[in-house]
Amino acid sequence: MNQPLPFASEPARLFAQDLIERIEDLILRAETEGVPLEVDPQRPELFQMFAEAEAAGFLAEDSPIDVSCDAIARELAGRWKLRDLGKAISQPNQLPPSQLKRLRVLWSFMRLWMEWSYAWQRWHEFHPAHSGSHSPAPSPNPTDSDTSDDRE
């Protein structure tokens, strides 16, 4: 991370930097091997890093350390000389092939990170505290439900 984080503790800053380094390593390894981030073993490894960022509080809006999708993308784009990320996204056909390839894997990372962030933020909506007023969601597969006939 290029900017100092004035309100964050040194161990937290170091952990965030390590987390971003590991994310970058995973992305570059996937790019080099020509494998998508969306499949095993890359996806669970990246999700583990996401869970670590969330557990450390780095995904909270008021966190002094920003490890959101946008923050990581800006950091990696800067490291990879994709400085004008907005322009690159709007005009990807004007990028050299090597940068286009890197931009595509960065998009994959961003999509996964944003989807997990969205789902994590809304988890409580679908998992309310166990109370008598909550009924379980219906099974998406009718064969998974109780097959007994109560109409007798």
Is residue 132 situated within a structural domain? Answer: no
Is residue 138 situated within a structural domain? Answer: no
SS3 (DSSP) at 122: helix
> What per-residue confidence (pLDDT) applies to 50?
96
Is residue 26 situated within a structural domain? Answer: yes
> What per-residue confidence (pLDDT) applies to 122?
87
Is residue 145 situated within a structural domain? Answer: no
Domain enclosing residue 75, as ranges: 10-123
Please say whether the dihedral angle defined by the alpha carbons of residues 75, 26, 7 and 118, taken in this order, is positive or negative: positive
* Ranges of the chain whose pLDDT falls below 50: 1-5, 130-152
> What per-residue confidence (pLDDT) applies to 24?
97
Is residue 103 situated within a structural domain? Answer: yes
Alpha carbons 124 and 142: distance in angstroms, whole number: 26
Q: How many domains would you assign to the chain?
A: 1
> What per-residue confidence (pLDDT) applies to 67?
94
> What per-residue confidence (pLDDT) applies to 113?
95
Q: Give per-residue pLDDT as tens, 77-114.
A: 999 987 666 666 667 677 778 888 888 899 999 999 99
> What per-residue confidence (pLDDT) applies to 98?
80
Is residue 88 situated within a structural domain? Answer: yes
